[in-house]
């Protein structure tokens, strides 16, 4: 039995006795948790038995409760300091990251990202259909009335690239150095615009995905208008080649961002047995992995735009680079990590 405060004790003695009592009643749990945490911090997991592993979360909550009581009753500073340190160490063991940045990156690029992309395949198909429809809409609008071109294409880039421009003028925007500065500015605009569209398409997914789809239509309508312009001059393949160097990566990134946003919106609109917030949170975890990769793709696209597109000044070479990047992304997303998916399914 532990002693109780007596009427003749001073306030200091009573506080010390209360602190000792508190520690004695709970110290076994504290010491056991400290032993488990120490072994895990040192990587000696084999020295832990099954009972210790199962008891870890319970012990953690017990020590957190002890810390809360210790703060409320103003126990001695030594006990408070010990419990605060133990709780912090235990938190990292129970809830903290399980891998370093390097190992996380290897896991992410080695199959985690591609698996997340395959997990939203239905949303990607819808986003792809919407992007194709947007391109067709842009083409049809300017084909029906060329004034739509000025509505769709930003005015600061509608210099030589306007309806009625000759084939030689338009060819000059794709090849040679005479208009390279202007075309570089246009390419920089495309990258900046596509990066913004990617971020917005994902962020607006929380509005049930509808704004994300509208944004995809608006963005690809610009592409449709530009295709119509160069097609009229007989330069369709040349323009596609110029755009494909970085465009196959950028447009793929937009597709993934739009699909990720739509995935969240669809989960909120049709949560099933989950609550709306729970469904959104679950979809958001997968979509955030996809978006982490989208950022990487945009960086790759910027490097291609800044170097490869400037150095390669012929259509076959540009098509080779753009085609290679498209095949690379398709093989990566469709093939990498599928064995792990199958193992997980079993």
Of 226, 154, 225, the closest CA to residue 189 belongs to: 154
Cα(168)–Cα(175) distance, integer angstroms: 10
* Banded model confidence at residue 324, pLDDT cuts 50, 70, 90: very high
Arithmetic mean of pLDDT, 172-181: 66
Contact 134, 218 (CB under 8 A): yes
Beta-carbon contacts of 222 under 8 Å, excluding residues fewer than 6 positions away, are: 138, 152, 153, 154
Beta-carbon contacts of 25 under 8 Å, excluding residues fewer than 6 positions away, are: 2
Q: Is the pLDDT of residue 102 over 70?
A: yes
Provide the 10 A C-beta neighbour count for residue 331. Answer: 11
pLDDT digits (tens, 9 = 90+) for 144-164: 999 999 888 877 555 678 888
Tokens for 176, please give them. 């040679």
pLDDT digits (tens, 9 = 90+) for 18-45: 667 777 788 888 888 899 888 888 877 7
Cα(293)–Cα(47) distance, integer angstroms: 38
Q: What is the mean pLDDT of the chain?
A: 81
* Banded model confidence at residue 343, pLDDT cuts 50, 70, 90: very low
* Banded model confidence at residue 136, pLDDT cuts 50, 70, 90: very high
Of 222, 217, 243, the closest CA to residue 153 belongs to: 222
Which region among 75-84, 167-176, 244-253 has the lowest average model confidence (pLDDT)?
Answer: 75-84
pLDDT digits (tens, 9 = 90+) for 180-232: 555 556 556 666 767 777 888 887 777 777 888 888 998 899 999 999 999 99
pLDDT at residue 277, rounded to an integer: 81
Arithmetic mean of pLDDT, 251-279: 89
Residue with more model confidence, 346 or 310 = 310
pLDDT at residue 100, rounded to an integer: 60
Q: Residues of the chain with pLDDT > 90: what percent?
A: 31
Q: Is the pLDDT of residue 263 over 70?
A: yes
């Amino acid at each position: 039995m532990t002693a109780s405060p007596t009427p003749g004790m001073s306030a200091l003695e009573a506080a010390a006795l209360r602190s000792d009592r508190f520690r004695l009643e709970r110290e076994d749990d504290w010491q056991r948790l400290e032993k488990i945490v120490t072994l895990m911090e040192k990587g000696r997991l084999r020295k832990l038995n099954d009972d210790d592993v199962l008891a870890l979360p319970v012990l953690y909550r017990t020590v957190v409760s002890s810390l809360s009581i210790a703060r409320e009753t103003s126990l001695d500073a030594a006990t408070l300091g010990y419990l605060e340190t133990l709780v912090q160490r235990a938190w990292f063991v129970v809830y903290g990251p399980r891998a370093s940045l390097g190992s996380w990156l290897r896991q992410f690029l080695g199959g985690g990202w591609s698996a997340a992309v395959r997990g939203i395949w239905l949303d990607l198909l819808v986003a792809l259909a919407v992007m194709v429809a947007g391109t067709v809409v842009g083409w049809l609008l300017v084909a029906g009335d060329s004034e739509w071109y000025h509505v769709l294409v930003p005015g600061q880039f509608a210099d030589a690239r306007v309806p009625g421009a000759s084939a030689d003028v338009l060819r000059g925007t794709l090849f040679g150095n005479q208009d390279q500065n202007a075309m570089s500015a246009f390419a920089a605009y495309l990258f900046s615009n596509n990066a913004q569209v990617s971020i917005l398409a994902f962020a607006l997914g929380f509005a049930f995905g509808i704004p994300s789809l509208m944004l995809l239509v608006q963005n690809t309508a610009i592409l449709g208008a530009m295709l119509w312009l160069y097609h009229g001059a007989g330069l369709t393949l040349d323009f596609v080649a110029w755009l494909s160097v970085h465009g196959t990566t950028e447009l793929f990134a937009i597709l993934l961002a739009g699909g990720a946003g739509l995935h969240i919106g669809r989960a909120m609109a049709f949560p099933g047995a989950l609550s709306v917030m729970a469904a959104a949170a679950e979809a958001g975890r997968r979509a955030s992995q996809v978006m982490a990769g989208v950022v990487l793709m945009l960086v790759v696209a910027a490097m291609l735009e800044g170097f490869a597109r400037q150095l390669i000044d012929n259509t076959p070479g540009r098509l080779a680079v753009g085609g290679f990047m498209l095949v690379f992304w398709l093989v990566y997303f469709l093939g990498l990590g599928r064995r792990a998916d199958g193992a997980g399914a079993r």
